[in-house]
Amino acid sequence: MFEFTITATDGSARCGRFVTPHGAVDTPAFMPVGTAGSVKGVTPDQLRGTGTRIILANTYHLCLRPTAEVVRDLGGLHRFMGWDGPILTDSGGYQVFSLAEINEVNDDGVAFRSHVDGAPVWLDPLIATRTQNDLGADVIMAFDQCPPLPADGRVIQQAVERTLRWAARCQEAHTRTDQALFGIVQGGLDVDLRRRCAEQLIRLGFDGYAVGGLSVGEAFEEMVAVLGPTAASLPADRPRYLMGVGLPRDILAAVRAGIDLFDCVLPTRNGRNAAAFTPGGPLKMRNERHRRDPEPIQADCDCTTCERFSRGYIRHLFNAGEMLGPTLTSIHNLRFFQRFMDRLRTLIRAGRLHAIVEEYPIAAAPTPD
C-alpha cells in the first residue's frame, strides 16, 4: 500500500517516488497547507492545475471545527475536501509551539484553550492518533513537542524525551493499515541529541521520519548545520520530511541534505498579501510601477494567472479589494513552487543540482553580514 523508492541521487540529494493509497508523489515534493481542510483561496481543481500532488491539513484545527467525527461521518478528509490526491495531517504538535500562550504541557499531553471560543481542549498521543485515524489522511504524524529556539538545553532535552514517549504511544494507538505513521525528530540545534532521538525512533520503526523543531527562530546557517547530520541518521529507504520550511533557499539546502518532503503556508499567505514569487525574488503587486504593466507576473510561467492576466490587472484587483487578486497570485505562487520542485528533480537526475541557483537566484544562500 505504501512504497518509497529512490530513483536518482546527486550527492546526498535524491529523487524518489512515494506511493500512497491516493496516488504516487515524485520527490522532492512540496505540500501546500490546507490547515482547516482548505488551501486558502483556491479550489481543488485549481490546486491540481498548479502541479500539486499532495497537500497537508491540521489535526488541531480540524478537531475544533468541524470535529474529526463530522469529517469521518461525511466520508473522510478526501471526500470532505473534494481532493482525491494524497493528504498528510500534522498531529497538532506544532501548535504546542505556535499557541504556547494558550496551552500547558505536561508528560501526558497538552491542555489548550481553544483559539476559537476559549473552551478547554486536550490533546495527547492517543487522541491525536485516533483523531487522525478518523480524518483518514494517507500520512499521519506522531504527536510531538516542538520547543521554540533558542531554548534552554533542559527544555530541549525534555521535549525530546516527551516526543519519544509520545511516539511509542502513537504507535500503540494507531489502528489503520491504510495510513502511514511518521515519527518526528526533535532536538533543537543539538546535533548529538537529534541523532539520539532519530536512533530511538528508528528502533520503534516508522513508515517515514520527519525533522521538526526548525524554522522556529534559528538562523539559516544554524538550520543547515543541523539538517545534514540529522538527515544522514535517518533510514535511506523511508521518506524524510522537513516540517514547516518553505523558502526556496531553505528547501534547496534541505534537498542537498537528503530531505524529500516539505510544507509551508508561504505560497498562499504571500499571495493573499500581494507578494508574488519569481526566480529573481518577490514582486509586490500593489506597487505603482505595475499600474500600466501589460506583462504577466513571470514571463515563462505556464500557470493560468500568467497565461491570461497582466500585472496591471492584478494590481487593480488588490487595490479594488477584489477576491480574485489573492486567488490569482496564490495560483501563481503555488505553480512557482511546483515548478521549482520539478526543476530540482530534473537537475538531481542529471547530476547538476548546483545549477539551480543560476536559474533561481532566489534559492541562493544569504550572504553573511
- Distance of alpha carbon 79 from alpha carbon 362, whole angstroms: 37
Domain boundary pick from 264, 286, 318: 264
| 260 and 286 fall within a common domain | no
Nearest by Cα to 325 from 283, 271, 281, 287: 271
8 shares its domain with 156 = yes
Nearest of 253, 270, 258, 254 to residue 330 by alpha carbon: 270
Contact status, residue 92 vs residue 152, Cβ threshold 8 Å: no
Q: Do the domain assignments include residue 351?
A: no
Q: Residue 42 domain-assigned?
A: yes
Q: In this structure, are 214 and 316 located in the same domain?
A: no
Specify if 359 maps to a domain: no
Whether residue 350 is contained in a domain is answered as no
State the first-to-last Cα distance of the chain, in angstroms, to the nearest integer. Answer: 49
Residues 6+ apart with CB under 8 A from 61: 35, 36
Q: Grid coordinates standing for 357?
A: 541557483
Whether 364 maps to a domain, the answer reads no
Query: Do 159 and 275 share a domain, yes or no?
Result: no
pTM (whole model) above 0.85: yes
- In this structure, the answer to whether residues 9 and 133 fall within a common structural domain is yes
Are both 74 and 186 inside the same structural domain?
yes
Q: What is the CATH number of the domain that holds 139?
A: 3.20.20.105
Q: Do residues 72 and 138 share a domain?
A: yes
Sign of CA dihedral 180, 183, 184, 190: negative
Give the model's pLDDT for residue 269.
98
Q: 130-153 burial, b for 16+ CB within 10 Å, e for fewer?
A: ebbbbbbbbbbbbbbbbbbbebee
Task: Please indicate, yes or no, whether residues 94 and 213 belong to a single structural domain of this protein.
Answer: yes
Q: Let me know if residue 358 belongs to a domain.
A: no
Q: State which residues form the domain around 305.
A: 271-332
Active site residues: 90, 263
Domain-embedded: residue 361: no
- 210, 240, 264 - which closes a domain: 264
| Span 235-277, pLDDT tens digits | 999 999 999 999 999 999 999 999 999 999 999 999 999 999 9
Residue range 194-225, pLDDT digits in tens: 999 999 999 999 999 999 999 998 999 999 99
Domain count, the chain: 2
Summarised one tens digit per residue, pLDDT across range 24-66 is: 999 999 999 999 999 999 999 999 999 999 999 999 999 999 9
Residues 80 and 190 grouped into a single domain: yes
Nearest to 91 by CA among 61, 47, 51: 61
How does pLDDT run across 136-195, given as a tens digit for each residue? 999 999 999 998 898 999 999 999 999 999 999 999 999 999 999 999 999 999 999 999
Q: Quick one: pLDDT at residue 96?
A: 77
Torsion angle of C-alpha atoms 228, 233, 235, 240, degrees rounded to 10: -40
Please give the pLDDT value at position 369: 61
d(CA 73, CA 361): 47
